[in-house]
Every structure is written in C-alpha cells, then in structure tokens.
Amino acid sequence: MRILVIGGDGYCGWATALHLSACGHDVTILDNLVRRKWDRDLGVSSLTPIRGIGERLRSWEATTGKKIGFIKADATNYAALVEAFQTVEPEAIVNFGQQRSAPFSMIDRDHAALTMVNNTLCNLNVLWAMREHAPAAHLVKLGTMGEYGTPNIEIEEGFITIEHKGRRDTLPFPKQPGSFYHLTKVSDSDQLFFTCRIWGLRATDLNQGVVYGLDTEETTLAPALVNRFDYDGVYGTALNRFCVEAALGHPLTVYGRGGQTRGFINIVDTVRCVRLAVETPAEAGEFRVFNQFTQTFSVLSLAHSVVRVGAAMGLSVELQHVENPRVEKELHYYSSVNNHLLALGLEPTLLDDPTIEGMIRTAARYEKRVDTGQIPATVQWAAGSPPGRPAVPAKVVRRS
C-alpha cells in the first residue's frame, strides 16, 4: 500500500515507518520536525543520539535497499498537506503528527494553545484532505487511553451499550481527559466519528497506552536508525524514565502514592498494531476504536520491578515518592478491554525482567548524555501554581 506516515520522525512514527517499509509498503513520511525544535526550546534531548532525518533515510536505504520518501511539511498548513496527498496518493494515512506531552500542554496558556491548535488543526486538515483528495483511503489515527480517564467501571473499546429510562443504545464511551493534550485527542475522536458518519470516510482510532522500550527489529539494523528515547520531566514516560534513573543511581521518582494505573505497550507491539490496523482497513463510513495496550500496571508496581531488576544487576536503586505535579486519582479502579487488536492477530510482547534489564543497560550506555536536571517534573497542574515557570522542584517525600 502507499502509506503517508504523518509525524514519522517521532518516537512511534519512526519505528512504524521502518516496520511498514520492511513489510513491503510504499512509505512516505510527512513531518515538519517541530518536535526537534520543541526539544531545543525546552533544553531537553533524547537519551539516544538520533540522527537527522536525511541521514536516517539514507541509512535505511543503504541497509535494506528500501526507500522511504520524505516531505517536510506542517500538517496544519492545508495547502502543503494537499500537495502531499496529490504527490503520494495515499491508500492509508497514519497520523502520529501531534504535540504528545500532557505536561507540555499544561506549562502555560501559550503551550496549551499551541497544543490545541496544532493537534486539532492537524487532525481536521487530514480529514478534509481525505474528503477532497483521497475519499477511499483509510485513516489510522493515534489517540490515547488517557482520553477515557479512570472511570469506576470497565473501559470498553470506544463504545458502550447503555440502558436509560427503559431504552437502550450503543454510544461513545464517556471521556474524562486529564490535560489539554488529552482534550485534543477527545476532540480528534469526535471529528473522526463525525466525518465517518457524515462523509463516509473510513477511520481507526488507536487509543494507545503508554509506550515503553527503545529497539524494534528495524531500528537496530544500523546505528543511524536508532530511535528517540525520552526521559525528561516533560516527555519522559514512566517506565522509560525509571530505567534511566536506575542506571544513573538517581532515585526512581514516583509521583504521589503511585497507585495511578494505566495501560502500557512495548514499542515493538506499537508498530505491529499499526500494521494490523492498516492492513485490515475499516469499511467506508466505519469508525473503529481499538484500545492499543497489552498490559496494565500501577506506576508503583513498575517502580518496584525496576528496583528488583536493578538490584539483581548489582545496582543500588532507591524509590522515592515525590509530590505529584498532576491533579489525578492516586488510588482507583482500573480495568479496560483490548480485544480488537488481539482478534486481528496481535501476539502481545509482555513486560519481563530481561526487557527492563535491557532498558537499564541502554540507559547506562548513553549515561554521559543524561542531564539529571531534566528529570524532575517541572509542570504543575493545579490552579494557582505560577504559569510558565518550573513547578516546585519535586519535593522528596519518602514513604514506605
């Protein structure tokens, strides 16, 4: 298939573009490289030395003989996006191209506005470009499990059948997003559902859990194919950050009580899930929602696993509860369905000790590149905390 991968220079997008290309698809990446700029603006950088997009693509071609196209364009620029559609004539569009950090979206008004405009317009433009230039194409859109929040009932895959006052209907599952970033994802889902109903587009919304891990089969084929790995307080996600902390002898920073429970997925499975969704497209007018995670963990249980594996490696790893910068439940019920991707053939890669050990070893390999000043969470959710400035430096509160 001819596939346009929007946001293909990012963490999930790069690994997925390589995987789709390795599987024989004709892949073109569209990215404005803005994530690299945001890193510079924030003064953070990937743990791993990611190469420029040109070097990445040359290395892929030299290693595999396969070519991936690249279009440098901002998806919020409709004319540029349309030109890309006319050039590529995509049969499938995979959209990763958004601002993806919840803390980034909570820094201040400007970052909230940037996230809202960038994400919402990018999604809207893709839908209009499909309507006008590729109405038969299938959109695979990255959403997040964070759209649902943490309800006290089991989370279904997008829809729930409810009875109300003696009548029954299947309706979108209620959403309770936890940041301006998550709010944009809820709006995206509404736009997708709307345009499938009204225009007959076909779309799959992948509500993805927190992604962990660095390597995939393809990114390890050559050094220049290495993926990004974020560990900082704005972009670093729980397990990735814990593994870097363990490698450095930095205490594992558990926000609050650590009972926050979420769906998680290995990057190896992210790329497989996207391929499965692309290769079995939705019908015309169909809006599918897949919950894309393989396991659920509380933050505290992940930290305990890293402490245990670190100790077995001879590292002295300590766990510290720090003040939670977010406004969220720290102890709650959490259960979610994830049947659709399993039904399509996904064989989950489960988190085990060797995987954690591998991530700690990777972090140790790049130890010299770590700036520990970037680890503390610096963005506060609560009203009243000063906007635009680092939050109270993560105050260490030891709990047993």
- What are 377's two structure tokens? 């969470």
In the bound complex, what is the minimum distance in angstroms from residue 343's beta carbon to ligand NAD? 21
Question: Considering beta carbons, is residue 170 or 176 the nearer one to ligand NAD?
Answer: 176
Which segments of 78-225 does DSSP mark as H helices, in order? 78-88, 102-105, 109-133, 180-199
**One of 16, 48, 120, 144 is an active-site residue; which one?**
144
Question: Considering beta carbons, is residue 13 or 285 the nearer one to ligand NAD?
Answer: 13
* Separate counts of helices (H) and strands (E) for the chain: 12, 15
Residue 67 annotated in active site: no
**One of 181, 212, 231, 334 is an active-site residue; which one?**
181
Cα separation, 239 vs 363, whole angstroms: 12
Question: Considering beta carbons, is residue 235 or 366 the nearer one to ligand NAD?
Answer: 235
Question: Considering beta carbons, is residue 9 or 330 the nearer one to ligand NAD?
Answer: 9
Using DSSP's 3-state secondary structure scheme, residue 105 falls into helix
Residue 237 annotated in active site: no
136 burial (CB, 10 Å; 0-12 / 13-18 / 19+) is exposed
In the bound complex, what is the minimum distance in angstroms from residue 29's beta carbon to ligand NAD? 9
In the bound complex, what is the minimum distance in angstroms from residue 287's beta carbon to ligand NAD? 18
Residue 181 annotated in active site: yes
In the bound complex, what is the minimum distance in angstroms from residue 312's beta carbon to ligand NAD? 26
Binding site for ligand NAD (CB under 6 A): 6-7, 9-13, 31-35, 74-76, 96-98, 100, 118, 122, 142, 144, 208, 210-211, 228, 237
The answer to whether 24 touches 110, Cβ cutoff 8 Å, is no
In the bound complex, what is the minimum distance in angstroms from residue 255's beta carbon to ligand NAD? 16
The contacts of residue 344 (CB under 8 Å, 6+ apart) are 276, 277, 280
Q: Which H or E run includes 361?
A: helix 353-365
**One of 185, 204, 235, 366 is an active-site residue; which one?**
185
Exposure on the CB side of residue 142, measured as CA atoms within 13 A = 29
Question: Considering beta carbons, is residue 79 or 383 the nearer one to ligand NAD?
Answer: 79
Residues designated as active site: 144, 181, 185
